[in-house]
Chain A
Amino acid sequence: MTDFPRILTRLMTEHPSDSHTMARYEDSGGYQALRHGLAMAPADVAAVIKASNIRGRGGAGFPTGVKWGFLAPATPRYLVINGDESEPGTFKDRQLLERDPHALIEGVILSAYALGCNHAFIYIRGEYPKPARRVQHAVDDAYAAGYLGGDILGSGFDVEVTVHLGAGAYICGEETAMLNSLEGLRGEPRIKPPFPAVQGLYAKPTIVNNVETIANVPWMVRNGGGAYAAIGPQGSSGTRLFSLSGHVNRPGNYEIVMGMTWGEFIEDLGGGVRNGRALKTWIPGGASAPWFVPDEHLHLPVTIDDTGKAGSMLGSGAVVVMDETTNVVAAAHRMVRFFAHESCGLCTPCREGCDWLERMLWRILNGHGRPYDLEMLLDVCDNISPGLRWPPAQTTICPLGPSAVQPVRSILTWFRDEVEAMIGAGRGVEGALVG
C-alpha cells in the first residue's frame, strides 16, 4: 500500500499515553485548524469539506458536502454528532472517542461554524460510558480554553456542546430516531421528508454526521479539501477506519485508504483466517450488509462503489469474517435476532417480519425445518423489502427492516444447499407454525 497520512490514528499511535488530553492535542498542532478556520468565511470552510469529497462514515456513504448544502436557512440550526455505534461488528468510533476526543471537538466547532450552528450535540450510546467520560472531559477542557462557549477566540462565534448518552437502543443510530431521542421521545424514526436538514431537532434545520466523518474536518481545514480528495481512489477518497472482527488472526481497527482487494484486506491486514482454516464468507460492511463469498468477491477492490455494484455495501466499515466451520444458519439467526430485538415496532413488516424470520431460522436450526420453509423465508423477506433488490426497496419508515432481510437472503443465495440439508436432516416434525 502506498504511503498516506494517518489522519485519524496518528496522534493515538505516536502518543498512546496521553493522546486524549488537551495538552498533547495542542502540542501536536491541535486547534490550529480552528484558528485558521475562524479566520475564513463560514462558506469557505464548508467549501473545503465539499471539495474533500468525503462520504459519510456512518453507513449510508452520502457525500457530506452535498448534505450540508441542503441545510435550510431558518435559525436556530443544530449539529448532531452520531456516536451511537451499535451495529454488530462496528467499534471504530469508540476508539476515536476514547483516544482522540479533541479531534472530534475541533471538527464539531469548525463544522458548526461552517453551518451556522450555535449548539451541537454529541450523542453517544449508553453502553459507552468511558468514551463519553473522555469526550465530556475534553469538552470541559475546551470550554476552559475558550474553544467552546461564547465569542470563540475573539471571533464573535458562539457554540455550545452537549454530550448526551443513549440508553441501549440501536435504532437511535438512525438519524431521525436520534433526534426524537434527543427531544426526550421514544427513539422512533420519523417519516422523511422532511429531512433533518430542513426540519430536524425541534423542527429546526439540523445536520447529523457520524463521529469519524467529523473527526476528519480539522485535517481538511489545515491541509485543504483537495489534499483529502487526492487520497485514495475516486469516489472513496480519504482514509477510513475499518473494524475487523470474527475468525481472523488480527482483529482490530485499521486506518487504510480504500482500494485494496478483499483478499489483501483479510490476509494482509487481518493476518488471515484463524487456525489455518479456510474462509467461508464475510460481511463487508456491518450487520445490514449482504455477505460476500471467496469465489465471487475476494478479488474485488474495497471501495464504496465496487462494493455497492457487487450487491452489498461498505456501510459502517465493519468486516466480520467467518471460517469454514461456521454454521451459516446459526450466524444468520444471530443477526436476524439482533434486528428483531432492535426493531422499534412502528412498521408492521419490520416488527412482525423480523420476529418471524428469527423464529423460522431458530426452528430450522433445531431440526424442525420444513421443505417449504425456504420459500416462506423468502416470502417474509419480500414482504419486508419488496422485490429483494439491492439496494433494498423499502416499505418501512427506516431501513432497519430491510437490513434484517440481508442475512437471510445471503444464506439462501450462497449456502442454499446447507440450509436445505439442515432441513432435510431435521425430523421434519409438524409442530406449531413458528417456535
Chain B
Amino acid sequence: MTRPMTQPMTQGTTVAIDKIVPGWSAPNRERARWLLERYPQRRSALMPLLYLAQLEHGHLTDEAQRQVAELTGLTAAQVLAVSSFYTMYKRDHVGRYLISVCTSISCYLLGGDDVLEAVEIQAGAHDGETSPDGLFTVEHVECLGACGGAPAVQVNYEMIEGVRPEKARGLCDWLRTASPQVVFGDEMQALFGGQRSFDWGPSETEGAIAPVPAFGPYGSVGGSS
C-alpha cells in the first residue's frame, strides 16, 4: 500500500484556486494548491497562504486577505484576526528591502542600538517606517536567534551577524547602489558581517527576492539551487 508522496493529506472539498485567485502567477497558484494539501484541515494552510499573498501583492491587501479567506474556508474577520496577530504579516506597504535590527538582550549588550541608529540614518527611515523612496523599511526586532553573533541584522529575513555601525551603513549603501534582485545571507555576511554564532557550513545558494521569508513552498526563492 505504497502511497505517493504527493497524495493530498487534506480531507474535504477541492478548492477552485484558479477561480479564487485568477490574478496570481501560475507558480504561486501551484504553490497554493500544494500548500492546501499539506494539512489535515484546510484552515491550517492559512499562515503559508498569507505569505504567498504577501509575495504576490507586496503586502497583505484587504482583497488578498479576502481571497485567502475563501481559499481556506474562513471568514475575512478570522483571517484579519490572524494576520494582525503576527508581526511578519505586513498589512501596509513595505520597502523593497526590509532591514530588521535585533535590539534584544545579547545584541543590546554588544551595541545593537548603535547599529539600529546607523541603519535609520543611512536608510533614511525611522524604526517602523519606510524611506520616502520606498526602498527600505527599517524595524527593530526581538531576538533573531543569532545571539552568539551579536549584533544581528536581517535583510528580507536573510541573516547577517556581527554587524558594526559602520558596516551597517555600508550595507544600506550597497543595497541602494547594487540593488540586488536576490539577497543572499552569505554575500552580505562576507561584505558586512563579523563574528558569527556558529560555522554556517557550505555557502547557501538560495536567497530572498522580497520581504517575505524565502522558503520554497511559501514563495520567494532565488538563485540556483
Contacts and interface: CB of A to CB of B under 8 A. Distances in A.
Interface stretch (B16-24, B130-138, B151-159): B151-159
Contacts of A181: 47
B221 A133 contact: yes
B44 interface: yes
B5 interface: yes
A129 B214 contact: yes
Given A253-B198, A320-B105, A184 B3 contact: no
Given A166-B86, A246-B109, A320-B106, A183 B145 contact: no
Contact of A184 (B44, B103, B104): B44
A253 B148 contact: yes
Interface string B177-214: 00000000100000000010111111010101000011
Contacts of B158: 129-130
Given A12-B201, A167-B89, A186-B81, A251 B147 contact: yes
Given A129-B208, A133-B216, A187-B86, A95 B198 contact: yes
Contacts of B221: 133
A127 B213 contact: yes
A52 interface: no
A19 B201 CA distance: 8
A86 B143 CA distance: 6
Contact of B197 (A168, A253, A330): A253
Interface string A321-334: 01000100011001
Contact of A247 (B40, B82, B109): B109
B51 interface: yes
Contact of A245 (B41, B106, B206): B106
Contacts of B1: 150-151, 156
B30 to A, nearest CB: 16
Nearest to B38: A162
A167 B87 contact: yes
Interface stretch (A66-74, A335-343, A360-368, A414-422): A335-343
A98 B161 CA distance: 16
A165 B215 contact: yes
A149 B46 contact: no
A244 interface: yes
A195 interface: no
A136 B109 contact: no
On chain B, which size bracket covers the interface?
Answer: 35 or more
B165 interface: no
Contacts of A136: 215-217
B135 to A, nearest CB: 21
Contacts of B104: 88, 287, 334-335, 338
Contacts of A87: 143
A138 to B, nearest CB: 12
Q: When A and B form their complex, which 4 residue pairs have the shortest distance between CB atoms, in order from nearest?
A: A150-B3, A167-B86, A184-B46, A245-B147
25 contacts: A19-B201, A87-B143, A88-B142, A88-B143, A89-B105, A91-B148, A95-B198, A125-B145, A127-B141, A129-B214, A130-B159, A149-B3, A162-B9, A162-B38, A166-B88, A167-B47, A167-B89, A168-B141, A184-B46, A184-B72, A244-B148, A246-B106, A252-B148, A330-B108, A335-B105
Given A91-B146, A133-B216, A136-B217, 15 more contacts: A87-B143, A88-B143, A91-B197, A132-B215, A164-B48, A165-B47, A165-B213, A166-B86, A168-B88, A183-B43, A184-B44, A184-B74, A253-B197, A287-B105, A320-B109
Interface of A: 12, 16-20, 76, 85-91, 93-95, 98-99, 119, 125-130, 132-133, 136, 143, 148-151, 156, 158, 160, 162-170, 181-187, 202, 243-247, 251-253, 283, 287, 318, 320, 322, 326, 330-331, 334-335, 338, 341-342, 344
